């Protein structure tokens, strides 16, 4: 299956072999990021510019749950264990229960979040338009590190296993390598 979100606010699912459309789901706004697939719950998770995150049954195309944020969503959801992490332009990282979409935590970091959260070494990393990279420990349920860069960050923080370095690109076209936050 291939899933594509569009500016018309519709999430389309196509058969990967034949190319035929399997289903489509309308949201209330454009979809600007990739969807995530949850193989355990057989659901596709996607954020929309209508400020909501959707869980859609991958087999039927039916909406399983829908949870509101306070801002448009540019980021790809991260599914890790029983949690879904989603960054919103309302300056918050949302942590939702995977099966129901029930909010567990909302971390307000004081700056818009466009970058997608990423899981590295058992921690969740995300970045803000204030140039801050954050490290969140899901076991402790708290922020455990941060690092300030001189410019806005809108892309996902990457990790190089061979180098042991974290990489972040800033909006002014610079790439930073960090040992630890």
Predicted confidence band of residue 180 (pLDDT cuts 50, 70, 90): confident
Alpha-carbon distance of 165 to 86, in angstroms, equals 24
The pTM score is 0.95
As a whole-number percent, the residues of the chain with pLDDT over 90 amount to: 99
In the chain the domains, ranked by start, together with CATH numbers, are: 1-108 (2.40.128.630), 111-181 (2.40.10.480)
Q: What angle (nearest 5°) sits at the alpha carbon of residue 51, between those of residues 99 and 69? A: 60
Alpha-carbon distance of 37 to 18, in angstroms, equals 20
The owner of tokens 């076991």 is: 139
Contact 29, 49 (CB under 8 A): yes
Give 125-157 pLDDT, tens digit per residue.
999 999 999 999 999 999 999 999 999 999 999
Contact 5, 46 (CB under 8 A): yes
| pLDDT over threshold 80, residue 40 | yes
């Amino acid at each position: 299956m291939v899933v594509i979100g569009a500016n018309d606010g519709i999430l389309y699912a196509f058969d990967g072999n034949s190319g035929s459309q399997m289903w489509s789901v309308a949201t209330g706004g454009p979809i600007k990021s990739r969807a995530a697939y949850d193989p355990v719950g057989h659901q596709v998770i996607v954020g929309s510019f209508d400020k909501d995150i959707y869980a859609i049954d991958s087999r039927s195309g039916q909406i399983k749950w829908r949870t509101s944020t306070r801002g448009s969503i540019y980021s790809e959801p991260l599914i890790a264990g029983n949690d879904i992490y989603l960054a919103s332009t309302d300056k918050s990282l949302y942590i939702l229960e995977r099966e129901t979409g029930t909010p567990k935590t909302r971390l307000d970091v004081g700056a818009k979040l466009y970058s997608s959260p990423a899981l590295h070494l058992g921690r969740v990393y995300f970045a803000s338009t204030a140039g801050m990279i954050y490290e969140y420990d899901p076991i402790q349920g708290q922020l455990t590190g941060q690092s300030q860069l001189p410019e806005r960050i809108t892309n996902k923080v990457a990790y190089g296993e061979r180098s042991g370095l974290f990489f972040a690109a800033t909006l002014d076209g610079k790439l930073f390598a960090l040992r630890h936050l």
